[in-house]
Amino acid sequence: MSNLDLRHPEDGLLLRYLDGELPGRKARQIRTHLEACWQCRAQVEELEGAIGECVRYRKNVLAPSLPPPPEPWRSLDFERAHSGLGAELGAEQAAQSLLVRMFVKVPSFFSPLLQNGGLRWALSGAAVLALCFVLVQQLRETPKVEAAALLQKAVRASQSRPAAIKRLRITTRTGQMTRVVGVAYKPPARETEIARLFDAAHYDWNDPLSAKSYAAWREQLPHFQDAIATQPNSYDIKTTTEDSELVSATLKLRTTDLEPLEGRFEFRNRDWVEMTELVDQQTNPASAVAGTTGGMPRQPGVPPGPIDVPVETAESPAFSEELQVVCALHQLGADLEDTVEISREGRQVLVSGTGIPPQRQQQIHGLLDRLPHVVVRFDDPAFPASAVPVQSEPATRDAAGPEKSTYAARIEERLGGRPQFERFSSAVLDWTDSAMTRAYALRRLAQQFSAAAENEMTAEDRRTLRKLGREHLAAFAKDAGRVANTVKPVLTGMGAGVAEHETRPDPAAWQSASEDLLASARRAETLLAVVLGVAPAELSSGNAPAELLIALAQISSRTEQCQRLLAGR
């Protein structure tokens, strides 16, 4: 284990964390540190912004100006025989890498890097990153100007069209609903909650999927950044800011008439809302969370269809298809990976994810492609299946390093030396990693199928759902028990007393009990890191061993709660 929690992680480690290249345990260490450190969270946000700017610059500015790729190389012997010195020069020019040609396009003050053997230095990660930062600074204002001009044109175009009733499919973390813009009706409670998010961000909820509302929100921001992506049939405008409750907004405009087609809105509290205009609606229920309400998303070039006045009815959500997908992923162990997401788009169940190795993608496709109404869509579908995923270096166990905390030194002394401490910490951390994986998987299952959703399931689906929950919980309890049985004797031997832990009313459903269980597990993981000297002592209130014993007791109690609630039906 690294000492990354004793100090702030370096930029290189944060970059590997953002790229998903760290092992699971080390990634959770950084995640735990970020939850407690405002400074590092701000650093991560800056890195994400810089990376995004570099990628967009490369795609939208630099790539169009690059020359076409060189022709396939011919035999050098053939070229010498027919063209002499000119062929040798041609071969030398063709051998230049794409990155060298990229440097030729930048301002002249970078040219010394490519002379006198400076290419090796220029190709280093630090030089490339510095170059990208300079280019981003030079071109930072360009997307803002382009976005402002594009939005102004879109607003003028919308004002020239007659007012019309629009039906929006709205997707959130907890479900879907349909909202009608342009008619009066009583909104349901969930729509009112979403409206509060937009009101807090000073974004007009009366017509959220419009260039006018987007431009008005953007113009009142003191500081923001824009990015524009050009698609075959649309423009994508993305605005990010730290001066609003709405920290990121994306609007897709159709190229032919600049009419908004889709939008995505991400808020400071990590809620998100996606909107798509629906067309060709014939029967249209009113706003209702869970399940979609018919109609197709507006496609570029397709005019809106007829829209009826909403009726206060809602379709019953179909959970069998989602549950079938979860069961299939469970066969692969893919339900333990937080990079795989399941959502519903209309009548289809969408399985998506990022950073998934090609071999795992093939396995998921093999199981899910044959299921009806299931679409598998990864962010890198063109990634060759034969490519070998990057292997992260194995996690190191340096909890017994020279900068041990007082707790770690006492544990080492009690165990009889450094080798014993290393074996102790390695085993405990491995069990903790495995337990946390199951705790997150159980919580994801609870979020995917809420208590209200479970009540609408068939008896067979409920049994299947609870069987999956019991399997995750049993695996968690096994590893958590190993941690407790190993750690408790050492802590009590150090004089840590077992205090009464806080008692809370039993939750009514296993879904809410899983949230409580995860909270206790995360607290125990943090305290364990403090006790082993790999996290700062400030993360505890002063007596980490005693707090850890309390957290372990809470885990045991809340595990029993989940077991009782999952045993029913």
Domain holding 160: CATH number? 2.50.20.10
| Choice among 110-119, 150-159, 162-171, 365-374 with the minimum mean pLDDT | 110-119
Q: Are residues 41 and 171 in the same domain?
A: no
Residue 198 in this model has a pLDDT that exceeds 90: yes
For residue 302, tell me if it sits in a domain: no
Q: Are residues 225 and 87 in the same domain?
A: no
What pLDDT does residue 406 have? 83
Kindly indicate the confidence band of residue 87, based on its pLDDT and cuts at 50, 70 and 90.
Answer: very low
Q: What is the DSSP letter of 396?
A: P
What pLDDT does residue 483 have? 93
What average pLDDT does this structure show over 270-288?
A: 64
Specify the amino acid at residue 153.
K
* Pick from 320, 318, 351: nearest CA to 334: 351
Residue 305, CA atoms < 13 Å, CB-side half-sphere: 16
Q: Are residues 205 and 354 in the same domain?
A: no
Region class of 352: left (phi > 0), else alpha (psi between -120 and 50), else beta: beta
Q: Are residues 416 and 367 in the same domain?
A: no
What average pLDDT does this structure show over 422-436?
A: 90
What average pLDDT does this structure show over 349-375?
A: 82
DSSP lists the bridge partners of residue 273 as 172, 265
What average pLDDT does this structure show over 235-239?
A: 92
Q: Are residues 150 and 120 in the same domain?
A: no
d(CA 70, CA 281): 51
Tokens representing residue 408 in the block: 């770690």
Q: Are residues 286 and 169 in the same domain?
A: yes
The residue with greater pLDDT, 114 or 487, is 487
For residue 398, tell me if it sits in a domain: no
Q: What is the dihedral of CA 400, 401, 402, 407, to 10 degrees?
A: -40
CATH number of residue 346's parent domain:
3.30.70
Q: Which domain holds residue 519?
A: 406-567
Residue 451 in this model has a pLDDT that exceeds 60: yes
Which residue, 297, 331, 349, sits at the end of a domain?
A: 297
Name the 3-class secondary structure at 509. coil
Residue 42 in this model has a pLDDT that exceeds 90: no
Residue 321 in this model has a pLDDT that exceeds 90: no
For residue 48, tell me if it sits in a domain: yes
- Work out how many domains the chain is built from and give that number: 4
For residue 473, tell me if it sits in a domain: yes
What average pLDDT does this structure show over 52-74?
A: 68
Kindly indicate the confidence band of residue 185, based on its pLDDT and cuts at 50, 70 and 90.
Answer: low
Tokens representing residue 532 in the block: 């082993």
| Choice among 137-146, 149-158, 303-312, 455-464 with the minimum mean pLDDT | 303-312
pTM value? 0.46
For residue 394, tell me if it sits in a domain: no
Q: Are residues 426 and 540 in the same domain?
A: yes
d(CA 26, CA 534): 11
For residue 157, tell me if it sits in a domain: yes
State percent of the chain over pLDDT 90: 20
Place of tokens 């937009």: 198
Q: Are residues 440 and 550 in the same domain?
A: yes
* Strands across the sheet containing 374-378: 340-345, 348-353, 374-378
Which residue, 139, 168, 193, sits at the end of a domain?
A: 139
Q: Are residues 444 and 339 in the same domain?
A: no
Q: Are residues 413 and 543 in the same domain?
A: yes
The residue with greater pLDDT, 380 or 434, is 434
Q: Are residues 258 and 146 in the same domain?
A: yes
Kindly indicate the confidence band of residue 288, based on its pLDDT and cuts at 50, 70 and 90.
Answer: very low
The residue with greater pLDDT, 287 or 469, is 469
Average pLDDT, the chain: 75
Which residue, 228, 262, 297, sits at the end of a domain?
A: 297
d(CA 75, CA 96): 17
What pLDDT does residue 129 have? 59
* Pick from 516, 526, 528: nearest CA to 559: 516
State percent of the chain over pLDDT 70: 70
Write out the DSSP string of 424-463: HHHHHHHHHHHHHHHHHHHHHHHHHS-HHHHHTS-HHHHH
For residue 401, tell me if it sits in a domain: no
Q: Are residues 165 and 86 in the same domain?
A: no
What pLDDT does residue 380 have? 52
